[in-house]
Amino acid sequence: MKNEEKKEITIEKMVSFCKRRGFVFPSSEIYGGFAAVYDYGPMGVELKNNLERMWWKDMVQRREDVVGLDSAIFMHPTTWEASGHIDGFDDPQIDCRDCKTRMRADHMVEAFGINADKMTADEINKQIEKLEKEDKKLKCINCQSENLTPAKNFSLMVKSNLGSPTDKLSEENVVYLRPETCGGIYLNYKNVMDTGRVKLPFGIAQTGKAFRNEIIARQFIFRTREFEQMEMQYFLNPKEMDKKYEEWKETRWNWYLEYGIKEENIRWYKHEKLSHYAAQAYDIEYNFEALGGFKELEGIHQRGDWDLSQHSKFSGQKLEYRDPITEETFIPHIMETSAGLNRMVFAFLHDAYTEEDVDGETRVVLKLDKRIAPVKVAIFPLQKNKEELVEKAREIYKELSSHYMCEFDESGSIGKRYRRQDEIGTPYCITIDFETVEKDDSVTVRDRDTMKQERVKVKDLKQFFSQNL
Ligand code: GAP
């Protein structure tokens, strides 16, 4: 008897599950860890790669109007002056004078029901004054002390040196690790245009690492200092903006549903306070129960002509577009879809994680869409000391693993092996038993979600999986 029950998901449960099953490990753990940085284990890297592959397939491969790019992480430092990141890419911080914990000032005032989205340190200090007049005091999240500094701005840019004559970080040859992947897209807009294969409206997409000196908030892989983004910048005539913006909002919303996210777990958040260049900004938020509720997963923003105008101004290069039909000349406007791959991994794990009561025992099962499951088929010989079973199982593994990510497992009872595969979300398990080798050349194929088993001829396995995976 199966009794489907979604139990409470806590951050401790997710962290320990992800470590135990090889999804996510804390970075540099043998040295005591490294704050807000994580590594992806054997299952995590498969899940992350699958999500990235599906995104690329839907955002680039299947679209006539989007092309791909892979630009370098290091870029000319003027890029970040032009984009406004050097002067204005800050988070407001408050430090505890007693235990030295550094905290996000906006999050601290938000705990009092204030919307501090995009507030500067000065604006937050005004809010703190108001709260104090009502006898409401901010407290350190670590030691509860009220001995706190005022809010001040803290740059999120990660700085380094290239080709510096000294080993020490100097002001010479400063480079920044990109804080978002889209910068490389703007700088290559002209190169892509000059290939002659695109015309407005069109998009350039890229995935890759980004770095931000985030104030640590203990949010697991939701907010880290090194992370991956999947961004698409769509260049268009401003007259088309509203129509295209609505189309892209719909496309991105449906993408999450297509890969199995439950609709009740996502919602739109409209930014009321916008960056000076933005005309509209919406986020798709996911209900990260382990983090206390809905939080940003992906941003869909209208950026106007800010990016190309700024890079044109700072580089002296013309980045205008001349419409071949109307002969109108203008700087293309941009709308972007900007998703975080690591947050996506977290959201998909969160959504798929299920605890069921099966005959009085708890079965943990990751109900991931088959396309993103890390392992597609697990292959078990019934007994590990029976050579004929192991040999047959290896033969099947060899055949199927050239098409799908497979796992060969011969240790423990079949029940335990099923449970392990359920926990990592493997859609199918195959068991090779004595009937397989002595009688009918058939194997038992077991379905993760229904737990139903059926006999399939070995010769039909390829067809079975091409229909079901
Ligand atoms: N180009 C626009 C841009 O970068 P953003 O809202 O700062 O916008 C986009 O970031 C997405 O990148 C977020 O929705 C989130 O999924 C991801 N992201 C941002 N900062 C992150 C961090 N510190 N750790 C993990 N993911 C992050």
CATH code at position 444: 3.40.50.800
Examine the domain organization and report whether 392 and 429 are in the same domain: yes
Domain annotation covers residue 164: no
Cα(395) to ligand 1 centroid in Å equals 45
d(CA 235, CA 308): 10
What is the structure's pLDDT at 25? 98
**241 and 177 housed in the same domain:** yes
DSSP H/E element including 70: none
Q: Is residue 368 part of a domain?
A: no
Q: Is there a single domain that holds both residue 195 and residue 305?
A: yes
Q: Domain limits at 102?
A: 90-155
Whether the CB-CB separation of 94 and 101 falls below 8 Å is answered with: no
Mutate to test the pocket of ligand 1, among 40, 206, 229 (most ligand atoms within 8 A of CB): 229
Q: Are residue 120 and residue 261 in the same domain, yes or no?
A: no
Same domain for 253 and 145: no
Which three-class secondary structure state does DSSP give residue 230?
A: strand
Residue 85 lies in a domain: no
pLDDT in tens, the chain (469 residues): 566 555 689 999 999 999 999 999 999 999 999 999 999 999 999 999 999 999 999 999 999 999 999 999 999 999 999 999 998 899 999 999 999 888 999 999 999 999 988 888 999 999 999 999 999 999 998 899 999 999 999 999 999 988 766 656 566 788 999 999 999 999 999 999 999 889 999 999 999 999 999 987 789 999 999 999 999 999 999 999 999 999 999 999 999 999 999 999 999 999 998 887 888 999 999 999 999 999 999 999 999 999 999 999 999 999 999 998 999 999 999 999 999 999 999 999 999 999 999 888 999 999 999 999 999 999 999 999 999 999 999 999 999 999 999 999 999 999 999 999 999 999 999 999 999 999 999 999 999 999 999 999 999 999 999 999 9
Q: Kindly state whether residues 128 and 183 are assigned to the same domain.
A: no
Q: Which amino acid is at 172?
A: E
Q: How far apart are CA 365 and CA 427, in angstroms?
A: 10
Residue 250 resides in a domain: yes
What is the pLDDT, as a whole number, of residue 338?
A: 98
- Residue whose Cα lies nearest atom 21 of ligand 1: it is 223
Residue 362, beta-bridge partner list: 357
CA distance 307 to 204: 14
Look at residue 242 and give its three-state secondary structure. Answer: helix
Are residues 51 and 109 part of one domain? no
Both 195 and 298 in one domain: the answer is: yes
Question: 386 lies in a domain?
Answer: yes
- Cis? peptide before 324, omega within 30° of 0: no
Which pair of structure tokens corresponds to residue 217? Answer: 């908030």
Please tell me the distance between residue 296's alpha carbon and the centre of ligand 1 in angstroms: 8
Residue found under tokens 């770095």: 211
Q: pLDDT tens across 355-391, in order?
A: 999 888 999 999 999 999 999 999 999 999 999 999 9
pLDDT at residue 5, rounded to an integer: 57
Count up the domains in the chain and report the number: 3
- Find residue 378's DSSP bridge partners: 407, 429
Using a 6 Å cutoff on CB, does residue 180 contact ligand 1?
yes
Distance CA 321, CA 96 (A): 51
Ligand 1 proximity of 409 Cβ (cutoff 6 Å) = no
Reduced to 3 states (helix: H, G, I; strand: E, B; else coil), residue 39 is strand
Q: If 0-12 CB within 10 Å is exposed, 13-18 middle and 19+ buried, where does residue 192 land?
A: middle
What is residue 272's DSSP assignment? S
Question: Would you state the structure tokens that stand for residue 326, as one six-digit string?
Answer: 């109307």
In contact, 446 and 429? CB cutoff 8 Å: yes
Phi-psi region of 36 (alpha: psi -120 to 50; beta: other; left: phi over 0): left
Closest ligand 1 atom to Cα of 181? 1
> Which atom of ligand 1 approaches the CA of 299 most closely?
14
Please compute Rg for the chain using Cα positions: 26
Are 320 and 440 in the same domain?
Answer: no
Given 155, 187, 211, which residue is the final one in a domain? Answer: 155
CA angle (156, 161, 163) in 5-degree steps: 160
Q: Which of 107, 277, 343 to mutate to test the pocket of ligand 1 (most atoms within 8 A of CB)?
A: 343
Alpha helices in 136-214 (DSSP H): 182-187, 189-194
- Flag whether 361 is in a domain: no
As a whole number of angstroms, the distance between CA 163 and CA 271 comes to 41
Report d(CA 402, CA 381) in Å as an integer.
Answer: 19
In a domain, 362, yes or no: no
d(CA 229, CA 70): 12
CA of 396 to the centre of ligand 1 (A): 42
Whichever domain contains 122, its CATH number is 3.30.1600
What's the pLDDT tens digit per position in 42-54?
999 999 999 999 9
371 alpha carbon – ligand 1 mean position (Å)? 24
The β-bridge partners of 207 are 230
- End of a domain among 351, 366, 387? 351
Tens digits of residue pLDDT in 389-412? 999 999 999 999 999 999 999 999
Q: Identify whether residues 133 and 249 lie together within a single domain.
A: no
E strands present in 385-434: 406-408, 428-432
Residues 422, 273 share a domain:
no
The three-class DSSP label of residue 386 is coil
> Residue 224 and residue 168: Cα distance in Å, rounded?
25
Q: Within a domain: residue 356? A: no
Q: Are residues 331 and 184 in the same domain?
A: yes
| CATH assignment at residue 177 | 3.30.930.10
